[in-house]
Amino acid sequence: MPDSINVTETRGVPADTAAATTAAEMLGDRVNGQVIAAKVDGTVVDLWSLIQGNPVVEPVLISDPEGLEVLRHSCAHLLAQAVQRLYPEAQVTIGPVIDDGFYYDFKYDPGFSPEDLSAITKQMQKIVNENLQVTREVLPKADAIALFREMREDYKCEIIEGLDGELFSLYRQGEFVDLCRGPHVPSTRFLKAFKLTSVAGAYWRGSENNAMLQRIYGTAFADKTQLKEHMQRLEEAKKRDHRKVGPALGLFSFHKEAPASPFFHPDGALVYNLLVAYIRRLYEHYGYSEVITPQILDVDLWHKSGHYENYKDNMYFTDIDEREFAVKPMNCPTHCLMYGETLRSYRELPIRFADFGRLHRFERSGVVHGLTRVRSFSQDDAHIFCTPDQIGEEIGSVIKMILSSYVDFGFEETRIYLSTRPEKSIGDDAMWEKAESTLKEALDASGRDYKLNPGDGAFYGPKIDFCVLDAMKREWQLSTVQLDFSLPERFELEFISSSGAAERPVMIHRAILGSLERFFAILLEHTGGLLPLWLAPCQVKLVTVTDNQNDYAARVEAQLREQGIRARADLRNEKLGFKIREAQQAKVPVIAVVGDREVEAGEVAPRLRNGEQMDPMTLEAFALWMGEHSKPGDGGVP
């Protein structure tokens, strides 16, 4: 929720207050200790907002999604008030609600320490106990600026000066006042279950050219039980953090010589290539043709595609032979060039180009994050060129492809969003209306539930985003399907229809896993590093009891490898317990113990990484068992 808004857009402020009543009064006896706001004809307002007429008024409970947003926004104000009590020299800037919490940015040059967060938390609790009433007032623009200037709140003055309108709303609680559109809780006593989680640096208005601020993050819930459960999930998330798990398992690393660009080690590269192989099998089934395209192309191409105008701040450029070139951030323009090389017949369509080419995007240092936000990456990227009549069938096929892959990777919950035209876009209104309605029809035909995500489409077309929930119920956007009428027009792409006339094809952009780097990270956190047997870089570790079994273990390793099983023998002169613990720490799915009895019987004694001991098996039986449990979607190996 933005921290400021023109009061002409605020709610619950009728012109004739004499004929109005409060939302709380209209709710009557429905107001209790769990009601923190009201919903008037679907719009959330303060309980004491004045209402005219006879609208539909509903209570907003502290546990409702809307109530949780009000609660967290109010906690941001609570945080700011506590900071100003303890550190009067700190200036407040903005404090919005974010996923699972809130933050507030402060101009405080000494910075905040973990000890400071503890002191701030105690002060916040003190304010809660004071049960301060939260009230709203409206001031003319000049008076609002004068008020904050008197308070030496330079950032608030800058915010107001940059906004249109003549009247602005402010919220007060005790001595604290903030520029805000609301709504808020009636009093601070409702803010009983909160916690400050971290502190970080952040540039004012997100620009590296502006002052560095101190950002304090926090979260809040309806009660302490929910807060405790959330904090437990956060602790589990820390344990599963791919930036910790990946390097510990020897999968990847980062170096300052290549900022935000990962180095995949042998085991990491093996997993990476298994992901690519999985997608290639899907391509064979669904009729895609893989292509390879250049990474550096003349900047004229990016002018033609619209990327230069809409995406240049995220691109890398270089001069070669007195010509300006750009490193490709996307594959779509190169696929347009390939399609346009020859005149196509409608009988050739659809044409499906798939490309694992490396992409480079300049992500700001403040937003890069392990593998989930990098500057160098590859996508399981593809573009479908089809006739308008083929759109529904093609999108339906892609949806089937996407949802089946989620099952194979063990994601049980999926959410789908239809993202519409963003503020910055290319193409006319008619094109966008046609594209959005076409995607909606395809989703309706699929029978899957979806939600509208206004303004979040790509600059060249609307899209369908597919999100999964991981083991900790966090939502991750993975797959995307984007409908594009613009690029075929810009590149003058054509096909000859059945009537003999030249027509424009439709271009469908789609990715299943998305960025392979990002998917790698999500999968590591979803599994906690316990990769499924079919993806584990080492599927079985053979551990010998003594050196006497080394020759046999080496032969078993070779035989298993010949059958496509990724086996490794640990022949070190170490104790058996040490070898087993080390294999468990490496999260190897199967550990096969080899002692004198196994050598004599020609067997192995496997145990799963969860400690479950299996009966001894012959090599043939063990290889068969491994094969049966090494398929995508199989959950037989904990």
Q: Give me the active site residues, please.
A: 332, 361, 379, 381, 383, 463, 509
Scanning 131-241, the segments in alpha helix (DSSP H) are: 141-150, 154-161, 224-240
* Number of neighbouring beta carbons within 10 Å of residue 313: 8
- Residue-level length of the chain: 638
Q: Determine phi and psi for 405, rounding to 5 degrees.
A: -70, -35
Asked whether 385 and 349 are in contact (CB, 8 A), the reply is: yes
Are 496 and 345 within 8 A, CB to CB?
yes
Sign of the Cα torsion 570, 571, 573, 576 reads positive
Residue type, 357: G
H or E element in which residue 445 lies = helix 429-446
Q: How far apart are CA 464 and CA 442, in angstroms?
A: 10
| Bond from prior residue into 350 cis (ω within 30 degrees of 0) | yes
Burial class (CB in 10 A: 0-12, 13-18, 19+), 380: buried
Residue type, 66: E
Which amino acid is residue 526, in one-letter code? H
Amino acid at 189: R
Question: Which of 488, 473, 418, 485 minimizes the C-alpha distance to 449?
Answer: 418
Supply 624's token pair: 């068969």
Task: Give the burial class of 65: count Cβ atoms within 10 A of its Cβ; 0-12 exposed, 13-18 middle, 19 or more buried.
Answer: exposed
The CA-based diameter of the chain, rounded to the nearest angstrom, is 97
DSSP E strand stretches across 1-42: 21-22, 35-40
Helix (H, G, I), strand (E, B) or coil at 71: helix
Distance between CA atoms of 42 and 55, rounded to whole angstroms? 10
DSSP-H helix ranges across 188-241? 224-240
The letter for the amino acid at 423 is E
Tokens 């409060």 appear where?
Answer: 22
Task: Specify the DSSP class assigned to residue 609.
Answer: T
How large is the angle between the packed helices 266-286 and 391-408, nearest 10 degrees? 140
Minimal CA–CA distance to 272: which of 510, 531, 469?
531
Amino acid at 340: G
The sign of the CA dihedral 388, 393, 398, 399 is positive
Strand bridging mode 567-570 / 540-544: parallel
**Residue found under tokens 């059958």:** 563
Residue pair 195/146 in contact (Cβ under 8 Å)? The answer is no
